[in-house]
A and B are shown apart, each in its own frame.
Chain A
Amino acid sequence: MTLSHIDGLVEDARTRDLAFTMDEDLFRVFYERTSRGLAGYLMRLCGDRQQAADLLQETYYRFLRAEAVLENDAHRRNYLYRIATNLVRDQRRRPAPPQVPLDEPGAVELAGDTRSAERLAQRHDLDAAMSTLRPRDRAMLWLAYAHGSTHDEIAGVIGVKTGSVKLMLFRARQRLAERLRRRTGAATEASR
């Protein structure tokens, strides 16, 4: 079963004026295609592995329970990310600062050679810089540059007007670059 098959079923349901509901096989295809990216997004947004895992389950649950008719794969993915973004937003009141621990699984393997160690250090800097940004900025930046979403898609996910995304993204990017430079500068100073 492929995603175009899912699109075909949705189209079929639409022409017969029926609500499209995913069965387990369709969900399996959709999940395999989206879960990794969504897990990365949630991880980057909330900064906690366990919380990200819980939110992943909750996001798919709400996605399956929603009776929205979604026209194609892009719509389904955007809808999924919108649910995830809203869930993270709802959890924002919790006081724990977002932190991605450096000793996360896989960190040791990645630190095997010099290049990987360097990338790991960069990732650590990014974690720290991202944790100082607002959740909406984190979401926009990740969607734009890690996920490759268009302004229109970002607007749909975070719930703002498409016209506002450009400016908001510009500002968020400026803030992130500034913090990354500050961290890199501080690390260079410390190594002297």
Chain B
Amino acid sequence: MTVPECAREAEIVDAIAAGQWPDAAPGTLRAHAASCPVCADLALAASALHDDAAIANQVPMALPSAGQVWWRAELRARHEASRLAQRPVLAVQVVAAVVVLAALVTGIRSLAPEAWAWLARTASGARTVSLSTIEPLTLALVLAVGLWLVLGPIALYMVVRADRQGGR
């Protein structure tokens, strides 16, 4: 599509930019803008926007100072850098926790086979015995281990989180 153009568009834009539109603009130019649809649209839209920008410049705006913007940007950059740096650390911590758990299981199995057998017996017995027949000592032990298994990871997570927040 060909854009409808007028040779006097530039004159109107210049007059608006110079703050001469409409009162201080030449009468012939105003008369032209009144009769030319392209220039009429241009004069109406461009002068409204130009006046708007002029008013916006007069209105006191609560802009943050350059120093504030600079330091906020600096702080944010540091936070982001530290967050990025901590990502691999967290991954290493998870891997380390899994490795320790696996080593613990392997260690108990090879170094203390009686303890492992007892654990296996308890586990298989738990499937068949009811709470009324189980020994109180065994029950307490099972509950303690269960509690540790549940609370241990939560405590670890809280410690790691507090450590990460403290590092910021």
A43 interfacial by beta-carbon distance below 8 Å: yes
Residue-wise, chain A 101-140 has the 8 Å CB interface mask toward B (1 for contact) of 0001111011000000001101101100100000000000
Smallest Cβ distance from A91 to chain B, in angstroms?
Answer: 19
Q: Are A126 and B48 in contact (CB under 8 A)?
A: yes
Query: Do A106 and B1 form a contact, CB below 8 Å, given A123-B51, A177-B41?
Result: no
User: What's the interface size class on B, roughly?
Assistant: 35 or more
**Interface residue ranges of B48-67 to A (CB < 8 Å):** 48-53, 55-64, 66-67
Interface size on A, residues (CB 8 A): 48
B3 interfacial by beta-carbon distance below 8 Å: yes
Q: Are A31 and B66 in contact (CB under 8 A)?
A: yes
Judged by DSSP, the binding face of B is helix
Q: Are B73 and A170 in contact (CB under 8 A)?
A: no
Q: Are B59 and A28 in contact (CB under 8 A)?
A: no
Q: Are B72 and A57 in contact (CB under 8 A)?
A: yes
When distances are taken between beta carbons in the complex, the residues of chain B under 8 Å from A167 are 1, 3
Of B16, B48, B50, B76, most A-chain CB atoms within 10 Å: B48
When distances are taken between beta carbons in the complex, the residues of chain A under 8 Å from B17 are 148
Complex Cα distance, B66 from A142, in Å, reads 24
**Interface residue ranges of B75-96 to A (CB < 8 Å):** 76-77
Q: Which B residues are within 8 Å of any A CB, using their own CB?
A: 1, 3-4, 13, 16-17, 40-42, 44-46, 48-53, 55-64, 66-67, 69-70, 72-73, 76-77
A-B contacts besides A31-B66, A122-B48, A176-B44, 8 pairs, CB < 8 Å:
A56-B63, A61-B72, A61-B76, A64-B70, A144-B46, A146-B49, A170-B3, A181-B44
Sorted from nearest, which 7 A-B pairs have the closest CB atoms? A106-B59, A146-B53, A177-B41, A31-B66, A145-B49, A145-B46, A28-B66
